[in-house]
Structure 1
Amino acid sequence: MAMDELIRAPACGGGGGGTVIEDLPGDVLALVLRRLDGASLAAVGCACSSLHELAADQETWRGLCLALWPSVRDVLGGGGGGEGGDGYRALFADAFPFLEAVSPAPATVSGGPSLPARLVSAVDLHHGGACIMSRVVETDTSSAWFLGSPFRVDALVQEGFSAPSPITPGELTLSWILIDPASGRAMNASSRRPVAVDRKWLTGETVARFTVVLGGVALDAAVTCDDRYGHVREVSLCIEDGEGGGVSGQDGLAAVTAAMASARRRGKGAEAAAKRRYEEFVQGKRARKEWKARREGIVDLCCSGVGAAAFVGFLVMLTFR
């Protein structure tokens, strides 16, 4: 019987004389479940209590997480972390689905949720299906320097590295998981595939953007590739507002905290919806820039008119004096 047929077979002691999935030995069922993806494994765990126990196996979830994100091995360690040893399953539930479009919360509100004092970034960069970079970055988010400066986390700066094959920015995939060690909550701060690939002809660089839009701000994870040497030069995460300006560390941290507590969007259309939100965000930013430019042009024209009128008035006064 094929594996998908086993999963669809009647479970939990269904009637009739046919073979049911529970007739299989537990170790065989565990091997079958380990071949499922995360969404299917979570669905199987909802069928009944016996399958739930098998689907909650931490080694299975650990294998799923490490296959997607090798860097989390150094974050959660061998024990899985989290309360009750549920770290890998909780991490998958938080980090795999796309975030809903949430509005950023105020940076500091009396009685509101406190901002995390430390953020851990688990960053994995793949090219052509092969992992070419896997790093863990810890950021002290409680310092006055971080809170007052534009939000930015660097996973790779300047030193660069070369992949076994020439880098094609459009074939890169990125996972940037932000983890709050205090609460155990996590979120994927990047899209899996580039939402835009920008070529900078003057510097000879190409920037692949893995942007996630959260209401009025965008988490902009960028991978900069040096076209001259064919390697990745920089991997960074910034947050920008609707006008393209940088968001302070304090406001960016508030947006991240709100996103970690928000709902997740599941389903096949989640990635397309995330890209659509990015396109709408870019269009809105472009429209605001054009409106601002027109407004400044009108103001400049009015100032020039007032200046010209004053100059003409001064000449008239001198003429009839």
Structure 2
Amino acid sequence: MACTDNTTAAIHREGGATTISAVHPDIIQTHILTRLDGPALASIATTCSQLHALSEHEQLWESICHATWPSTSTPRVRHIISTFPGASRSFFSDSFPSFAAVDTYRHANIERTPELVTAVDLFHGRRPVLSRVVETETESGWFRCSPFRVDVLDPKEAVATAMEYPRSEEACERLREELRLSWIVVDPEGKRAVNVSSGRAVSVERHWLSGEVRVRFATVVGGGERGSASEAVLCSVTVTCGSEMQVREACVQMEDMDGTILNGRDSLGILQRALEGKRGTFFVAGEKDRFLEFMNRKSERKERKMRDERRLDMACVALAFLSFAAISTLFFFRI
């Protein structure tokens, strides 16, 4: 009754127009805010001080994180999130956008990141297909010198799905539109997270012999110590499904413009800059175009190197011919 009287009084004070202050905070929090997704909740928090205070509750953001990424409900990831400044809201702010905007070089101290935790969620439409959490140590010489690769499935593991096998180019394109992948890399020590997936697949290919379907998610980012500040690096996540559409492989690697897979040391440096850098927009609409541009530049670079090698070979042949001719002439005159 007290709540009703307060509401009526507030309505009269505003000339009959109901304001947000007329609604009881419990009703707003329980019946309104809990129905919003992360971006909507973040937007509504900027409208007034009352909604800002109500939207700060940890339970709201924890529920949103679990609903957005089922992998975050595992005990390991939940514990890491609880240590973030701002907890679940900070984690969501870090992880919801991609790091497509990271395109500048900054020095990275890889010693600050002794471990990486990867939280992976694959969706077909709104149906979750795969959720996994992987922990990777980064201090050993094996990790830093070997080609960087993080797998979320064991070699003999296969995850069944309800997806239909794409038997045409149209079906492949439809599958590309329907699949969504979140690949969140977490630095427990630095209390930062970043989503390295393009969200939507950039390509879907069927192997003509084995029938496997290879789905690729890729983000083009700035290079590191291996090249100039403007040289691009491809962060590529590959999901491989068998002919029965069972997920048999899901891994991430980093590739430079020469097609070389970066080692753990260089990849960790790039990930650190992504963790500390600005965020872009999740499910980037232009990421496929950026991927195709990267592949075109990579192909042009390869062709240019081949032309340079052919010129060098021709120069070597010409030099060898001239040397032979000079030696033959000298020998002839001596005779």
Offset of 1:78 from its aligned partner? 7.4
1:39 CA displacement:
1.2
AA in 1 matched with 2:118: S
Q: Quick check: 1:104–1:214 contact (8 Å CA) kept in 2?
A: no
2:140 to 136, 143, 150: 143
Superposed, which structure 2 residues align to 1:46-195 within 5 Å?
A: 46-74=46-74, 75-77=76-78, 81-83=82-84, 86-99=86-99, 100-108=101-109, 114-159=111-156, 160-168=158-166, 170=176, 171-195=178-202
Residue ranges of structure 1 left out of the alignment (5+ in a row): 1-13
Preserved CA contact (<8 Å) 1:103 1:255 = no
Which residue in the other structure is 1:310 paired with?
323
Letter in 2 for 1:158: P
Amino acid at match of 2:162: P
Structure-2 change in CA distance of 1:115 and 1:200 (3 Å): farther
In 2, Cα distance between equivalents of 1:35 and 1:243: 47
Partner in structure 1 of residue 28 of structure 2: 29
Report the 3-state secondary structure (helix = DSSP H, G, I; strand = E; otherwise coil) of the residue aligned with 1:224: strand
Residue 191 of structure 1: how far off its partner (Å): 1.1
Q: CA deviation at 1:186?
A: 0.2
CA positional deviation for 1:310 = 3.5
Matches within 5 A, 1:146-295: 146-159=143-156, 160-168=158-166, 170=176, 171-215=178-222, 216-227=232-243, 229-266=244-281, 271-295=284-308
1:176-203 Cα shifts (integer Å, max 9, x gaps):
1000011210000111110122333354
What letter is aligned with 2:132? R
Separation of aligned partners in 2, 1:204 and 1:319: 66
How far did residue 90 of structure 1 move? 1.0
Deviation by residue 1:249-283 (Cα, 9 ceiling, x = unmatched): 1111111111111111248xx71233333232222
Structure 1 residue 119: Cα displacement: 0.2
TM-score, normalising length: structure 1 = 0.84
1:299 corresponds to which of 291, 300, 312: 312
Q: State, as a whole percentage, how many aligned pairs show the same letter.
A: 37
Aligned counterparts of 2:91 and 2:272: Cα–Cα separation in 1: 16
For 1:131 and 1:209, locate their aligned partners in 2 and report how far apart those are by CA, in whole Å: 18
Contact 1:221 1:235 in 2 (8 A): yes
Q: Tell me the TM-score normalised to structure 2 length.
A: 0.81
- Say if 1:206 and 1:164 are closer, same or farther in 2 by CA, change over 3 A: closer
Q: Distance in 2 between matches of 1:302 and 1:259?
A: 44
User: Given that residues 151 and 247 in structure 1 are in contact (C-alpha distance below 8 angstroms), is that contact kept between their aligned partners in structure 2?
Assistant: yes
Q: Point out 4+ residue stretches in structure 1 off by more than 6 angstroms.
A: none
Q: Secondary structure at the match of 2:35?
A: coil
Describe the superposition over 1:113-151 as per-residue Cα deviations: whole angstroms up to 9, x where unpaired. Answer: 743100000011122321121110000011111111121
Contact 1:41 1:55 in 2 (8 A): yes
- Pick closer, same or farther for the CA change 1:206–1:318 going to 2, 3 Å: farther
Q: Closer, same or farther in 2 for the Cα pair 1:199/1:316, shift >3 Å?
A: farther
Could you say which structure has the larger radius of gyration?
2
**2:179·2:201 contact (CA, 8 Å) conserved in 1?**
yes
RMSD over aligned Cα atoms: 2.5
SS in 2 for 1:145: helix
On the 8 A contact 2:84/2:90 being kept in 1, the answer is: no
Verify the 8 A CA contact 2:112 2:190 in the aligned structure 1. Answer: no
Q: 1:302 to 1:83 in 2, by over 3 A?
A: closer
CA drift of 1:220 comes to: 0.7
CA 1:80–1:115: 2 relative to 1, 3 Å: closer
Contact 1:102 1:259 (8 Å CA) reproduced = no
Cα distance in 2 for residues equivalent to 1:140 and 1:53 = 39
